Amino acid sequence: MRHGPDNVRRVSTREKPLRYSTALVAVVVAALAAGCSRPDRATDTAVSLDICSPRSLDSRDVNGILRAPVTGVERVPGDAQTCVFRTDTRARIELAVRPSGGATTVQRWIDGAMPLEAAPLNGVGDRAAWQRDLHEVIAERNDVLCDVTALAEMSDFVNSSDDFLEARLGSLCAKVLGASP
């Protein structure tokens, strides 16, 4: 067999480290994702809430925030702790409840350790923060995290004022966290 430029693939020394570092990053990301989704991370004080069930929240709790009415409630595939309240438009409200990590997460928002600025929000759980750019309330009670976001254009809101949105979205987390011990 003749070895020449036609039948030999030359591998640059730059290609190998890139391929290996990409594989290493993929393994690290998979390990982190697996660690964050383990059910044994739940605290004894956390209730296994089915936030998509009508006994936790229903469309009446969410209607009146967006102009379009909620037409469907669904779980996020692969994330039983997140519920999406859909409309017939692109506007929607997403609510996630995590059984642990709430105190640390809210504190990081309040301390300014997150990429966007958040302000403390009183009257929701043990501690809460309001992030106006994302229309998001991040709250915790007994380390249970509630995160609710309204994903919509300003024209999609019944009232787009910060006071209205933080009160209405905060009330969703207050209701969910009130069901926790």
- Residue 80 inside a domain? The answer is yes
User: Which residue did the predictor score with more confidence, 113 or 49?
Assistant: 113
Instruction: Determine contact, residues 158/61, Cβ cutoff 8 Å.
Output: no
Of the candidates 146, 142, 149, 139, the one whose C-alpha atom is nearest the C-alpha of residue 106 is 139
So what's the pLDDT on residue 42? 37
Count how many domains the chain has: 1
For residue 169, what pLDDT band results from cuts at 50, 70 and 90? very high
173 domain residue, yes or no: yes
Alpha carbon distance 5, 11 (integer Å)? 12
What is the Cα Rg of the chain in Å? 22
pLDDT tens, 115-149? Answer: 999 999 999 999 999 999 999 999 999 999 999 99
Query: Is 43 a member of any domain?
Result: no
Q: Which is higher by pLDDT, 47 or 61? A: 61
Percent of the chain with pLDDT over 90: 58
With respect to residue 1, please indicate whether it lies within any of the assigned structural domains: no
Domain CATH for 107: 3.40.1000
Please, is 130 exposed, middle or buried when counting C-beta atoms within 10 Å of its C-beta (0-12, 13-18, 19+)? buried
Are the C-beta atoms of 119 and 148 separated by less than 8 Å? no
**Which comes out higher in pLDDT, residue 32 or 121?**
121
**Residue 136's CB: how many other CB atoms inside 10 A?**
21
Q: Which residues pair with 139 in a beta bridge?
A: 128, 146
Q: What pLDDT sits at residue 178?
A: 87
The reply to whether 6 falls in a domain is no
* Residue numbers of the domain that contains 102: 59-178
Q: Give yes or no for residue 95 having a pLDDT over 70.
A: yes
**Two structure tokens written together for 32:** 């982190």
Residue 131 within any structural domain of the chain: yes
Reduced to 3 states (helix: H, G, I; strand: E, B; else coil), residue 73 is: strand
Residue 24 has a pLDDT of: 27
Question: Residue 157: phi, psi to the nearest 5?
Answer: -85, 145
For residues 2-18, one letter each, b for 16 or more C-beta atoms within 10 angstroms of the residue's C-beta and e for the rest, the string is eeeeeeeeeeeeeeeee
Q: Answer with the residue of higher pLDDT: 154 or 1.
A: 154
Looking at the domain assignment, is residue 117 inside a domain?
yes
Strand partners of residue 110 = none
Q: Is there a domain that residue 3 lies in?
A: no
Q: Which two tokens stand for residue 54?
A: 């009508």
